[in-house]
């Protein structure tokens, strides 16, 4: 039932290649023939067989995007932006979910043959340097996390500086017992945000205490709530908390409310990611807002550059901007 170049060629009375030339915008086709081919194309409703074309061209027209889970708002938002940015360049995006486990991440990475996709954007959570494929495979761009010592393109915000900005904001409000939620030694992001936290503390003349840093294996809302409960149960509980992402912060908000305390009067809270929902929580969440659009576009840009040319370019490390979005959870409700 499907129409091929051959069918179009027969109808137009020219060779297959001439039709191919018209389809691909080759300049030297007699106007008369071009017209007839175009008519035949329209009449038959021809659509190129992408698979065959790519087999011939050695390109697939697909990019892979590897993320932990689409149901996590940050990744849902990011994936949406990546798809939009990729589409502008003529790519379709294939999404792979890893649940953030190292084994699934490795598996996914190694399954990305050069035949399946032209390149991949990966947002690792647990990968280690050794897991990366030998260079020379398909172009890879890492998002958000920096696995050390891997010479691979990388796009992210400055996590350390962003965390520092968030915590400095809390200190500037006069808070002195500033806690953190989200420690997880297995995740590079966690270490970076922790580093920023410590820097900001010492810059503000506050001392660091292990007791105020709550671990969180998964950065989910329920984990944030549990962590907050245990922080509030301390002999001298915190008067501010920096959560390593918005989900943890949303959970923390709930834990505070359940104990009958107020945000920000009793505890000020800052999140990280600026999920859409965070502008509508009660109170609305102060948070670090990475420029996700810039992130997505920079990543697509990089992978595009790798694929078309510059194979030899040394690995890039691009930082995209962020901003501190101050809302009710630290500022208080505006009258």
Binding positions for its own copies, rule: CB under 8 A: 1-2, 47-52, 54-55, 60, 62, 69-73, 75-77, 79-81, 83-84, 92-97, 113-116, 136, 221, 225, 250-251, 253-254, 257, 276-277, 279-282
Please list the residues that pair with 66 across neighbouring strands.
96, 122
* Residue 27 or 335 with smaller CB distance to DNA: 27
Name residues contacting DNA, limited to 57-96 (CB under 7 A). Answer: 57-58
d(CA 12, CA 38): 9
> Which residue of 27, 130, 148, 233 would you call a contact of DNA, by CB under 7 A?
27
> Which residue of 10, 11, 25, 33 would you call a contact of DNA, by CB under 7 A?
33
* Residue 115 or 311 with smaller CB distance to DNA: 115
Considering only CA atoms, which of 191, 176, 40, 54 is closest in space to residue 115?
Answer: 54
* Residue 56 or 314 with smaller CB distance to DNA: 56
d(CA 250, CA 324): 17
SS3 320: coil
Q: Is 233 in the site for DNA (CB under 7 A)?
A: no
Q: Is 174 in the site for DNA (CB under 7 A)?
A: no
d(CA 59, CA 114): 8
H helix intervals, the chain: 5-12, 16-23, 31-44, 50-57, 73-88, 102-111, 159-172, 188-203, 221-232, 246-258, 292-307, 328-331
SS3 62: strand
| # residues contacting DNA (CB under 7 A) | 28
Considering only CA atoms, which of 148, 155, 163 is closest in space to residue 195?
Answer: 163
Q: Is 155 in the site for DNA (CB under 7 A)?
A: no
* Residue 248 or 298 with smaller CB distance to its own copies: 248
Q: Which does residue 277 bind out of its own copies, DNA, none, counting CB within 5 to 8 angstroms by kind? A: its own copies
d(CA 6, CA 19): 8
- Please, are residues 170 and 179 in contact by the beta-carbon 8 Å criterion? no
d(CA 156, CA 332): 30
Pick the stretch among 23-31, 100-108, 147-155, 267-275 that binds DNA (CB under 7 A).
Answer: 23-31
* Residue 119 or 271 with smaller CB distance to DNA: 119
- Please, are residues 180 and 147 in contact by the beta-carbon 8 Å criterion? no
- Shortest distance in whole angstroms from residue 76 CB to DNA: 34
- Shortest distance in whole angstroms from residue 147 CB to DNA: 30
> Which residue of 42, 43, 52, 116 would you call a contact of DNA, by CB under 7 A?
52
Q: Return residues touching DNA (CB under 7 A).
A: 2, 4-6, 14-18, 20-21, 23-24, 27-30, 32-33, 46, 48-49, 52-53, 55-58
């Amino acid at each position: 039932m499907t129409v091929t170049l051959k069918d179009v060629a027969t109808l137009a009375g020219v060779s297959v290649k001439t039709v191919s030339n018209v389809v691909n915008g080759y300049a030297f086709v007699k106007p008369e023939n071009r017209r007839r081919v175009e008519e035949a194309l329209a009449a038959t409703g021809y659509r190129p067989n992408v698979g065959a074309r790519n087999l011939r061209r050695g390109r697939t027209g697909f990019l892979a995007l590897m993320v932990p889970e689409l149901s996590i708002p940050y990744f849902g938002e990011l994936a949406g932006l990546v798809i939009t940015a990729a589409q502008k360049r003529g790519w379709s995006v294939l999404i792979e979910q890893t649940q953030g486990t190292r084994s699934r991440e490795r598996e996914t990475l190694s399954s990305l043959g050069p035949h399946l996709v032209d390149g991949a954007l990966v947002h690792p959570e647990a990968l280690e340097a050794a897991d990366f494929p030998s260079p020379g495979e398909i172009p890879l761009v890492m998002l958000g996390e920096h696995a050390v010592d891997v010479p691979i393109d990388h796009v992210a915000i400055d996590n350390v500086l962003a965390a520092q900005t968030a915590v400095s904001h809390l200190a500037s409000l006069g808070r002195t017992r500033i806690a953190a939620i989200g420690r997880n030694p297995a995740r590079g992001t966690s270490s970076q945000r922790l580093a920023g936290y410590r820097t900001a503390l010492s810059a503000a003349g506050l001392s660091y205490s292990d007791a105020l840093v709550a671990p969180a294996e998964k950065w989910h809302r329920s984990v944030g709530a549990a962590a907050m409960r245990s922080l509030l149960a301390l002999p001298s509980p915190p008067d501010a908390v920096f959560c390593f992402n918005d989900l943890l912060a949303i959970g923390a908000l709930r834990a505070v409310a359940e104990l009958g305390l107020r945000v920000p009067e009793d505890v000020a809270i800052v999140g990280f990611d600026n999920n859409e929902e965070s502008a509508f929580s009660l109170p609305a969440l102060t948070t670090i807002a990475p420029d996700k659009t810039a992130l997505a576009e920079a990543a697509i840009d990089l992978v595009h550059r790798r694929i078309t040319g510059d194979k030899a370019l040394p690995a890039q490390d691009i930082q995209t901007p962020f901003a501190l979005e101050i809302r009710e959870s630290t500022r208080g409700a505006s009258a």
